[in-house]
Amino acid sequence: MATDILGYEGKRVVVMGCFSGIGEACAQTLVDLGAEVHGADIKPSPVNLDSFTEVDLKKPDSIAAGIAKIGGKVDALFNISGLPQTFPGEDVVTVNFLGIRAWTEGWLPNINSGGAIVSVSSLAGMGYLGRQPLVREFMDFTDFAEARQWYLDRAEEVGDPYTLSKEAINTWTQMSAPDLIGRDIRINCTMPSPIDTPMLGEFRKVAGDAVLGAFAKAKGRYSSPEEQAMPLILLNSDAARFISGVCLPVDAGLAGGLATGVLDMQKMIAEAMAEA
């Protein structure tokens, strides 16, 4: 009978975004599961890793240098870094999408057969299929400076840069999956509802307590970083070896409830306001 169904013992994995929040929780759990864990972030990780490399996802040179420094073959990438929309919009779309994609593509030649990639998107990107022409126009840029300029020129039409960045992650995940499976590499992402991490305070500044409170209503509380790390670990594990191209809501049923009309966001916001 199989005992180690996740199969991380001895696997070589890379966690981008291991300084805090989900990334820190994910890196710690992977260490506990016996993986060889290499971390990257703009800030050092509190986790006792096999290595830590400073990488700034805003900068292509830093991305290339980070990949070269860690080097070697890897079994799994965990793409967790992200910026909220309280940062300049052009930085948000760069870190959350352009940087994550360039980091992943830089690693691709080094990913072992049977390997897997998972990224953290967001429920904010849930409407990606309805905005495809705009999202694909943004995704067509590979040059960071050109993409940033496109965003600045189109900021009004784009709206929230965080939403665009996560719509692009969802689209890229699903567009990449058929090709990558031919090389026996899987790619997925998760779409969390609000999480009790340092980023939540930033979202509160933008969305306000009532909207955030409504998003927490499905379960009556926000998720913890650990509750978001576990699905990432599952998706990149041997237990998920037939799962690819999935954008998985990790939201205690919120997205499904909204999609089927069982939950009503306006009603939930009104209730959250009444409770505040």
Ligand X SMILES: NC(=O)c1ccc[n+]([C@@H]2O[C@H](COP(=O)([O-])OP(=O)(O)OC[C@H]3O[C@@H](n4cnc5c(N)ncnc54)[C@H](O)[C@@H]3O)[C@@H](O)[C@H]2O)c1
| Residue from 10, 43, 179, 241 binding ligand X (CB under 6 A) | 43
Q: What is the 8-class DSSP label of residue 95?
A: I
Instruction: Pick the piece of the chain touching ligand X (CB under 6 A) from 13-21, 68-76, 107-115, 181-189.
Output: 13-21
| Residue among 189, 181, 191, 192 nearest 241 (CA) | 181
Angstrom distances, CA of residue 255 to CA of 29, 128, 162, 201, 258: 27, 14, 18, 22, 5
Residues 84-143 contacting ligand X, CB under 6 A: 95, 120, 122
Take residue 171 and report the two structure tokens written for it.
């689209």
In this structure, what are the phi and psi dihedrals at residue 108, rounded to the nearest 5 degrees? -50, -45
As measured in angstroms, the least distance from the Cβ of 50 to ligand X is 18
161 binds ligand X (CB under 6 A): no
Angstrom distances, CA of residue 216 to CA of 138, 208, 212, 222: 31, 13, 6, 5
272 binds ligand X (CB under 6 A): no
Distance CA 97, CA 245 (A): 17
Residues 47-76 contacting ligand X, CB under 6 A: 55-58
As measured in angstroms, the least distance from the Cβ of 3 to ligand X is 30
Closest CB to ligand X among residues 7, 254: 254
- Number of residues located near ligand X, criterion CB under 6 A: 29
Q: 175 Cβ partners below 8 Å, 6+ apart?
A: none
CB of 171 within 8 A of CB of 229? no
As measured in angstroms, the least distance from the Cβ of 109 to ligand X is 21
| Residue from 36, 38, 41, 269 binding ligand X (CB under 6 A) | 41
| Residue from 82, 115, 161, 213 binding ligand X (CB under 6 A) | 82
| Residue from 33, 134, 200, 211 binding ligand X (CB under 6 A) | 200
As measured in angstroms, the least distance from the Cβ of 210 to ligand X is 16
Q: What is the DSSP string of 141-201?
A: --SHHHHHHHHHHHHHHH--HHHHHHHHHHHHHHHHHHHHHTTT-EEEEEEE--BSSHHHH
Closest CB to ligand X among residues 70, 120: 120
Contact mark string toward ligand X, 179..198, x via CB under 6 A: -------------x-xx-xx
Binding site for ligand X (CB under 6 A): 17, 19-23, 41-43, 55-58, 80-83, 95, 120, 122, 192, 194-195, 197-200, 203, 225
